[in-house]
Amino acid sequence: MPAKKESSNLLPIVDKKDRGKAKLWQKDQQKKHWRRNLFRFGWLIALLVVGTLIWQVISFKNFLERPFQKLPGEISYRTNINFNSRVNLLLLSLSYDNKVKSLVIASYDGLNKGLDLFPIPSEVYLDAPHSLGPVTIASLYNRGNFQGNQGVKYLLKGVEEVLAIPLDGYLGVVNFSDDELENVLSESSIKEADESLKDIFFFFNFLNYKSWGEKHLKTNLSLTNLIDLTWKVREVRYDRFKYYQTQDLFLKKTTGANVEERVLDDIKADPLLDTIFNDPVVVEERLTVEVKNGTEKSGLGGEAARFITRLGAKVNHVGNADSKVKETLIYDYQGENQTVLRIRDALGVGKIVRQKSEVVSKEDIQVILGEDYQKSL
């Protein structure tokens, strides 16, 4: 009989040892596959977490920056505020129809850690800037906005003119009802706000109050300045928090048109204002100043001297310059000091020139007002 052929589909005989190696290799490949998938999954989770954190940070940043929509108008006030010296801020409340209801000067004394609140009656009259004529200080906001969204600039300049103090910025409380505005900047409300700043849970309460940034606060302060201000005010002791009653400092008088106006009583008010708004650093340096008017407008020297005196410096002489100058110059004959810096801040303009006095002036500092100062008023 013919021999039977072997079937071609029979698997070759594999050694048990080789089969074990194959299984180990297969398991090793499966482990590597799982590790790769786990690594990819970990990266995906990490990216999701980082993306979520970035989104949360952006959302929190946008939340904090909501109040930093400035009131209409451009102003050239300082952005880097030195809270170690005297800082003056205008607090104002605005109704839904953009009428100024109340004005308060908040003056922080960085050296002595004090806070002074000086309310200004909204019906005080003054000669408004840019030839608007005699108007109430509260009406400057709307009148300025009619001149091209310059309301906040006119208002701050008007307050500076009445009190002869430099302002570093403003905090506006807006969109309250008339009933709320009557008390929002009152002594009791501000003291309550001051106490809430000292509350250990202030920051968390601040975060939970989500509507504050949308309609309640407008300011030209940066976020850094506002945080610095918050912490500085937290340090103010109760006995260094003062809210002044100022009604008696403003006289009532009737004009020829039988219009009753309220104006600052300089004789009664100046000693108090010099005490409240002097800069302790300037007082401590005790430098003397000479002011010369280098413009065509008479009376500017006296106005500038009021600002400088209010800072705490001693103005010994006011007169006219030998010639007209375009740029305000502040000559410092005593070397490095803070008084010249504060004078420049108070005037809003000025180039500081440090040099030794060669009998140019008997005073420590000489200020020559230029056209830039006249244009800034």
pLDDT value for 138: 86
pLDDT value for 207: 44
pLDDT tens for 203-240 read 444 444 444 444 567 788 877 888 888 888 888 888 88
pLDDT value for 20: 66
| Most confidently predicted of 67-71, 254-258, 334-338, 360-364 | 334-338
* Tokens read off for 69: 């929509």
Compute the chain's Rg from CA coordinates. 34
pTM: 0.74
368 pLDDT above the threshold of 90? yes
Question: What is the distance between the alpha carbons of residues 14 and 65, in angstroms, rounded to a whole number?
Answer: 75
Within 10 angstroms of residue 32's Cβ, the number of other Cβ atoms is 10
How far, CA to CA in Å, does 251 sit from each of 75, 86, 348? Answer: 30, 28, 29
305 pLDDT above the threshold of 90? yes
pLDDT tens for 237-290 read 888 889 999 988 988 877 656 667 788 888 999 999 999 999 988 999 999 999
pLDDT value for 100: 86
| Average pLDDT along the chain | 79
How far, CA to CA in Å, does 248 sit from each of 12, 224, 244, 262? Answer: 116, 37, 11, 11
From 345, 71, 112, 317, select the one nearest 217 (Cα to Cα): 71
pLDDT value for 68: 54
pLDDT value for 149: 77
354 pLDDT above the threshold of 60? yes
Which sequence spans correspond to the domains of the chain? 31-64, 86-250, 279-376
Question: What is the distance between the alpha carbons of residues 246 and 261, in angstroms, rounded to a whole number?
Answer: 16
86-250 topology per CATH: Nucleotidyltransferase; domain 5 (3.30.420)
pLDDT value for 213: 45
Q: Specify whether domain 279-376 bears CATH 3.30.70.2390.
A: yes
Q: How confident is the model at residue 27 (pLDDT cuts 50, 70, 90)?
A: confident
Judge contact between 115 and 104, C-beta under 8 A. Answer: no
Beta bridge partners of 190: none
